[in-house]
Structure 1
Amino acid sequence: MKKWIEIIMACALTGCAASSEQPPGQEAAPVVEKQSPAAEEAERETAIDPKVLYLLMAAELAGQRNQYDVALDGYLQAAELTDDSRVAERAAKIGLFVKDERRTEEAVNLWLERDKENLTARKIAILSALRRANKAEAVDHLNALLALDPGGFESTLVEMIKLMEKDGKDDFIYGVLEELAVQHPDQAEIYFVQALLASKMQQYPQALQKNSRALALQSDWHKALLLQAQLSSQTGDLEAARGYLEQALEQTPEDERIRKMLAQVLVESKAYDDAVDLYREVLDDKPDDGESQFAIALIYLQQQELGQAENYLEKLLHDPAWEAQASFYLGRIAYNREKYDKALVWFDKVSQGPLAFNAKMAAVSLLLSQKRYDEAAERIGAMETKYPRQRVRILLVKAELYSETGQYQQAFDILTDALQSYPDSRELLYTRALIAEQLDKLDVLEADLLKILAQNPDDAGALNALGYTLVDRTERYQEAEAYLQKALRLQPDEAVIIDSYGWLQFKLGHTDEALRYLQRAYDLQPENEIAAHLAELLWVTGEKEKARRLIEEALEKTPEDRYLLDFKKRFLQSDE
């Protein structure tokens, strides 16, 4: 606004510059000289119409008072009365700011009449046409822009998409670009931007198709190669993603960002050794790169090479940006090594950052596993105060505490109360169903699991829990079989589901089939409840010694497990 006031004042003062005051006491000669045509033209160009001056000053004052509609009217009227493109530009920009599509169009048309090659005017015209969903006008302006600025065409299109992000017109813009592509089939930039837009709309196969067209026209286009890698990864074609990234890396071998992208694809492909090699190449150039050190540590954790992971995590302890994350995973390593006190120390070091809450939850789970219930309860209480937004997760671990100490009714009550506020929470419903089984509330168990399945019929966990309960606590075997067969189809290698189906076969008297499933489940996951099922089958089929060894070995590791103790009471003690 200050700029425009200065222009106005400069124009208003132009007429005074040619006059001079006569010295006192002297009379000016009454000479009237006729101006040349060139001088008359110059005067016309520098003079400003009083009406225009008034409109501009009124518009500026309105703008200073945030009366933008009034300012816009003033500038529009002034733009119609003057050939100065700057007035129309001002009107167009105010119209764009207040999102007045009609008057923006009017102003930008005046602007382009006065300066048809102005790129900014053309861009605003495109934006205005897109917002008014005028396809033909948008295509015309884009064609003009392409002729005026072919080098900046792609960046302008991307800018338009970003500016219209909240307008919800991605489909319309895509259609405009489709029409433009028909008119310019050899313009790779159009296909590339279409691919970006389709990716934004999560239409990945369509994005791949369009970007492939761009690469067919410019096979070594760096940005298109990176986009194709990203799209390939999103559609699950990790091998293709790897190839495109390797091609991009050949073009810019020093590009650390691409090297890391390739390493991430290799991790997803489970090519862990290759990924580590790439991250080490980054570290050769930047020895203190925390991201690469952390990534290598996670890879080694995935491979269960705890010592290697520990080495890299310890290096990060001196880096404030990575110290908390390193401490968290060092805590997990200590837990896996059954060094529980050390693990607790590491978890407690994570006092801030995105893993702070998870570290506190891990500490509580550790204390529960060690039956340090009072300490766990104290920590849970502190978390309830500090993390109100994590109420559901905290209530779930609180229910676990009650369950671990045999206070099933208290656990059931707090979950029931929580469901008043979060009636569709899958975690709350599932956990209450498990607690309900302990209280013989099988009607609640069934209702909760069926509600989960109504929301997601393919929830394998709910299918298994319902099917297993019907097998173990009722004789509704036909219903149970339907649930368990579906769960097996969804997760054929999940040990607990295989165990449930084997237990069903045992109940049906199909001992050979039961043995096949229960043995496979135990081989996949030697968990105590599965061990108890397998041992019972072995016992009743006459392999008592084998069953006895199985249970005794399991009891050596977890002497207080309720499934193992129940088997011992029912079979081993009665057989003595």
Structure 2
Amino acid sequence: MKYRHLAIPVALATAGAVTLFAPLAQAQMPRPMSSQAVNDRAVVMGILAAEFSLQQGDVASAAATYYEVAKRTQDAKVAERAVDLLVRTRRVNDAKEIAALWQVADPDAIRPLQIALALALTSQDETRAQQAVTRVLSLPEEKRAEAVMDVARQLAQYRDRDAAVKLASVFTERLPKLPESYYALSVASTGNNNARINESMLAIDRALALRPDWPQAVAVKSRLLLARSAAGKEGAADRAAAMSVLEKAIAAAPDSRELRVLAARTEFDLENFAEARKRFLALADEGKEDAEEMRLAAALSAYHAKDWVTADREFSEALEADRGDPAAVRYYLGRISESQKRWAEAVERYSQVPPSERYWESQLRVANALAQDKQMLQAVAHLRALKPGNALERLSLAQTESALWRDAGENVKAFEALDAALVVDSEDADLLYESAMLAERIDRMDEAEKRLRKVIALQPKRAHAYNALGYSFADRNINLDEARTLIEKAHELAPDDAAILDSMGWIAFRQGRLEDAAAYLKRAFDKFQDGEIAAHLGEVLWALGRKDEARGIWQTQLKAQPDSDILKKTMARLER
């Protein structure tokens, strides 16, 4: 769960990109134009007519009028107003035309470059994007760094990494002594999805070499190290390095609040919640403008540290003092009640979450709390009264009802909940997959097979769909050649998945390849100590005559999973 869930912004280096449809929304009447333009009666009448149209709610007419007036006057302020209205009415090509005019009218301004680039990137117009980036080079020297950073924020959010890197490379080639150039290349390389981490790291190291302990560059490097730690073998070393980079920068600039806030957030991301809380509280005690934000962050740290008493008290205090996003605060209060199994209180708290990004999840959690409180009929009635607004909400609604029935041991009703949702969303692969798993549980094998084959057709790279169908055949000892083909395809797509390794072992066992079976099952069990895998591995070892080894694996796993039905049945069958 990320830190931003309390609507407390995490100041990552890639945040704050220009948004296409928002930046000019609050524009006012243009300031006075040149005397020549003002003396043009047609221009003045055009502006008055456009503003009157706006007052009447006719944005389209206002945009059309300002478009013509901007072309006639060549005035920067008129162009700014025109671009705003053209964007709001989705006339993107016309907005790009007037943005180009705006740049000519005010060649030293950063704003028209921002808007021109945003328009170009939104419409994937690489030529105009290149023109906007290149124009930064002609800005006065004192404005270039700021302009490059503006471009960097936009490129960080652009989906096409190759195009983003190409655009950012203009700065490293033409402005090689400017640290912001390498910052732009770094965030353009990695974007928001942690792509090209090594390339991005080289660029940000170059930026820090030109400007040591630069807070924004330090933030990027720390983020890159954390991202690399999640993907690489040197995870612990990279996590330590992420904090070391920050501590070094703080030592060099102890008064940098930006760095100390970043250090607190990084400790949070590293799940060092107690240390994060100390840092947030120290920042809050300084009484700066963000003191309330820091106190909420400290409360969130207590929540994640499972210090329920402290978190409950501090979130309740925040609610009383009207601090933070009330929807998020009420949501976390509900989570605290749920964590302590105070189901009635959880229902009450979740029910008070107002419409927000947390509203839908809170409503689903109301149902779960009711079910946990032995009020299953009320839980289902609550779910069925909800009105999902999109496919994702329909999916989550069906999955929640199905899970409640499944937990209650009602697999037929769990299947029916998903089946009803498929009437509306018949091509939803997630619904198909989950309903196939339930169809198998209630012995509707033909239906399970049919749905899994449809999932494979819809999502040919979904490894677990191949695995589920192949394992179903292998477990029933039918269609073994097709089962092997399906499971091997799953293994090709996800070679290290324990469940798929288990299936590879089981189909090998069914086909009499006992040594292969034992090797796959041993790998699966090393990755995930599970009753079913232990049962399979033990059965193969038993068939190989290694009965004592099989018994040892069974007994050890049974201590960890005393309720494993398959493990008990396997032991009873083979030991008799």
TM-score of Structure 1 vs Structure 2, range by shorter chain: 0.5 to 0.7
Structure 2 distance, partners of 1:543, 1:163, is 63
Task: Report the counterpart of residue 445 of structure 2 in structure 1.
Answer: 442
1:388 partner SS: coil
Task: Report the counterpart of residue 415 of structure 1 in structure 2.
Answer: 418
Structure 2 distance, partners of 1:515, 1:134, is 60
Q: Per-residue CA shift, 1:24-70, capped at 9, x if unaligned?
A: xxxxxxxxxxxxxxxxxxxxxxxx89993534543443444445655
Report if the CA contact (8 A) 1:535-1:551 is conserved: no
User: How many aligned positions are there?
Assistant: 489
Task: Report the counterpart of residue 427 of structure 1 in structure 2.
Answer: 430
Change (3 A) 1:570 1:349: farther
Task: Report the counterpart of residue 316 of structure 2 in structure 1.
Answer: 318
Amino acid of the structure 2 residue aligned with 1:331: E
1:470 to 466, 473, 479: 473
Structure 1 distance, partners of 2:520, 2:29, is 82
* 2:283 pairs with 1:280: no
Report if the CA contact (8 A) 1:528-1:554 is conserved: no
* 2:150 pairs with 1:155: no
Task: Report the counterpart of residue 247 of structure 2 in structure 1.
Answer: 246
1:152 partner SS: helix
Report if the CA contact (8 A) 1:294-1:312 is conserved: no
- Structure 2 unpaired stretches of 5+: 1-27, 54-61, 87-93, 233-237, 286-293, 320-325
Q: Per-residue CA shift, 1:242-282, capped at 9, x if unaligned?
A: 4433333334445566445445555666xx56x63343233
Structure 2 distance, partners of 1:328, 1:537, is 44
Structure 2 distance, partners of 1:498, 1:50, is 75
Report if the CA contact (8 A) 2:331-2:350 is conserved: yes
Structure 1 distance, partners of 2:129, 2:402, is 59
Q: Per-residue CA shift, 1:465-494, capped at 9, x if unaligned?
A: 223211221333444345445656777776
Report if the CA contact (8 A) 2:498-2:525 is conserved: yes
| Residues 24-35 of structure 1: pairs in structure 2 closer than 5 A | none
RMSD of Structure 2 on Structure 1 (CA): 5.3
* 2:295 pairs with 1:295: no
Task: Report the counterpart of residue 54 of structure 1 in structure 2.
Answer: 41
Cα offset, 1:350, TM superposition: 3.2
| Residues 188-199 of structure 1: pairs in structure 2 closer than 5 A | 188-199=179-190
Could you say which structure has the greater relative contact order, defined with CA pairs below 8 angstroms and 6 or more residues apart?
2
Cα offset, 1:153, TM superposition: 2.2
Cα offset, 1:428, TM superposition: 1.6
Task: Report the counterpart of residue 393 of structure 1 in structure 2.
Answer: 396
Amino acid of the structure 1 residue aligned with 2:216: K
Report if the CA contact (8 A) 2:30-2:77 is conserved: no
Report if the CA contact (8 A) 2:338-2:369 is conserved: no
Structure 1 distance, partners of 2:409, 2:97, is 71
Structure 2 distance, partners of 1:140, 1:510, is 64
| Residues 223-262 of structure 1: pairs in structure 2 closer than 5 A | 223-236=216-229, 238-239=238-239, 240-253=241-254, 258-259=259-260, 261-262=262-263
The higher radius of gyration belongs to: 1
Task: Report the counterpart of residue 366 of structure 2 in structure 1.
Answer: 360
Report if the CA contact (8 A) 2:405-2:413 is conserved: yes
Cα offset, 1:382, TM superposition: 0.9
Amino acid of the structure 2 residue aligned with 1:328: R
Change (3 A) 1:263 1:473: farther
Task: Report the counterpart of residue 119 of structure 1 in structure 2.
Answer: 108
2:427 partner SS: coil
Report if the CA contact (8 A) 1:76-1:107 is conserved: no
Structure 1 distance, partners of 2:144, 2:520, is 63
Report if the CA contact (8 A) 1:364-1:376 is conserved: yes
Task: Report the counterpart of residue 377 of structure 1 in structure 2.
Answer: 377
Change (3 A) 1:537 1:63: closer
Cα offset, 1:386, TM superposition: 2.7
Amino acid of the structure 1 residue aligned with 2:432: L
* 2:219 pairs with 1:216: no
Structure 1 distance, partners of 2:508, 2:370, is 38
Structure 2 distance, partners of 1:404, 1:286, is 43
| Residues 305-344 of structure 1: pairs in structure 2 closer than 5 A | 309-316=307-314, 318-319=316-317, 320=319, 322=329, 324-329=331-336, 331-332=338-339, 334=340, 342=342
Report if the CA contact (8 A) 1:249-1:258 is conserved: yes
2:277 partner SS: helix
Q: Per-residue CA shift, 1:67-99, capped at 9, x if unaligned?
A: 56556656766x6xxxxxxx8444444554444
